[in-house]
Amino acid sequence: MSDFSVWIIVKNLLWATQWTIILSLIAFVGGGIVGLILLFARTSQIKPLEIVTKCYIEFFQGTPLLMQLFLFFFGVALFGIEVSPWMSASLALTLWTSAFLTEIWRGCVESIPKGQWEASSSLALTYIEQMRYVIIPQAARIAVAPTVGFSVQVIKGTALASIIGFIELTKAGTMLNNATFRPFLVYSLVALIYFCLCFPLSFLAKRLEGRLNVAR
């Protein structure tokens, strides 16, 4: 009897895990795209653009992710626009991810020696061309490890989406706990699944870090 319900719990948690993974992927890919655009603005040396992106980044880095989720979920509803938990979670996590990725990548871009900018400037390349052909190909190498490392934060961040009613791993855990009254078992399993998702990524990040350092 007991074994049977453990199996039911596991099965349901695994089902919910797919939504954690999908939400993480959306946030990470979406955040990567938005982050790349912001990166160009942030390092453009065009003052207004830099200030706007800096404010954006400060906002998303300086406020709790949970509050951002509330803003997107409840705040947008105030304007009479109906948003699903699914929609607001994707949007909030995407923007949150983009802010952090932009900052990580900015650091990588700024670590490229000034001479690379000067040489490419002297060859008449425009800023966008310099970024595309000279700076980003080099910065990307450095960025791989911290970017993969940050993806762990994104996965863990998706847990907060449970609070606005999005059914992912954490929300499923809460629901199963309410049904079974076995919090220790349920949340241990939830934690284990998160760990299985995150550990390979942190391990990979460590490995990449070591390898790229040697190559330098």
Partner 1 sequence: MSLVSIRDVRKSFGPLEVLKGVSLEVAKGDVVAIIGRSGSGKSTLLRCINGLETFQSGAILADGLAVGSVHTNLRELRRHVGMVFQQFNLFPHLTAAENVMLAPTVVNNVSKKEARDTAAEVLTKVGLSEKMDAYPSQLSGGQQQRVAIARSLAMRPKVLLCDEITSALDPELVNEVLRVVEQLAKEGMTLILVTHEMRFARDVGTNLVFMHHGKVHEQGPPKEVFAAPKTPELQQFVSGIG
Q: Does 129 bind partner 1 (CB under 8 A)?
A: yes
Burial of residue 138 (number of CB atoms within 10 Å: 0-12, 13-18, 19+): middle
The token pair at 1 is: 């009897």
Residue 54 structure tokens: 């800096």
Q: Which region among 65-73, 85-93, 113-121, 170-178 touches partner 1 (by CB under 8 A)?
A: 113-121
Specify the stretch interacting with partner 1 by CB under 8 A; choose among 24-32, 47-55, 67-75, 133-141.
133-141
Q: What's the rounded Cα separation, in Å, for the pair 116 and 5? A: 62
In this chain, which of 74, 133, 195, 203 binds partner 1, going by CB under 8 A?
Answer: 133
Q: Report the residue number, 26 or 108, with the smaller CB distance to partner 1.
A: 108
As a whole number of Å, the CA-based R_g of the chain is 21
Are residues 27 and 99 in contact, defined by beta-carbon separation less than 8 angstroms? no
* Residues 139-178: x where in contact with partner 1 by CB under 8 A, - otherwise, as a string: --x-------------------------------------
Contact positions vs partner 1 (CB under 8 A): 113, 115-116, 118-126, 129, 133-134, 137-138, 141
